[in-house]
Amino acid sequence: MKFKLATLITLAASPALAASKNPFSSDFWHLDNTDLIVLIAFIIFIGVLLKYKVPGMLTGLLDKRAEGIKSDIDEAKALREEAQTLLASYERKQREVQAQADRIVANAKEEATLAGEQAKEDIKSSIVRRLAAAEDQIASAKASAIREVRNQAVKVAVAAAQDVIAAQTTPADANKLIDDAIAEVGAKLH
């Protein structure tokens, strides 16, 4: 690891050395040479990184992040499998309920045939009552939904109107509107 790092430092420093003075000349090794100072600072910087084991910490952080992502993926897979199990369970229950409903309908038809016309009239009145109840529930839900939509539309319209009026009303216009409103209220009270 240290040999690879030393090689990397040498390769990284060589372009800076190639662009400047010859490192083997005596002019290069004076402290007034900025290239030498930059090289020394770079080597010190790399040394500090190695001393405090920054590459290891970075690798550790990346490994920790990878483990976190892997655990998230595993958790997502587990949730997906659980959801598929629940879906299969609900589909099975739906088939059972449908089969039971089919049996109930078949039994109801047999009983209606055996019971005669009176049974047919009872079933018809029961169906009419159930349809009426369902229609009442649908109408109630529809009215509630319409009421909610209207209330929300009113809120949005009031907010938009406030924004538009606030943007277009100058202080002088606002004072005039207040004075007019006071005069109108005074006129209606007297």
Residues with Cβ within 8 Å of 2's Cβ and at least 6 positions away in sequence, in order, are: 50
171 Rama sector, left if φ>0, alpha if ψ -120 to 50, beta otherwise? alpha
Give the mean pLDDT of 84-92: 93
| C-alpha dihedral (12, 17, 20, 24), degrees to nearest 10 | 180
36: how many CB neighbours lie within 10 A of its CB? 19
At 103-149, the pLDDT tens digits run: 999 998 888 788 777 867 887 888 889 888 888 999 898 888 889 98
At 33-83, the pLDDT tens digits run: 888 889 899 999 998 888 888 888 889 899 999 999 999 999 999 999 999
- Ordered by start, the domain boundaries in the chain are 2-52
From residue 138, alpha-carbon distances to 55, 63, 133, 134 in Å are 66, 56, 9, 6
Say yes or no to pLDDT of 184 above 70: yes
- Amino acid letter at 80? R
Residues with Cβ within 8 Å of 119's Cβ and at least 6 positions away in sequence, in order, are: 111, 112
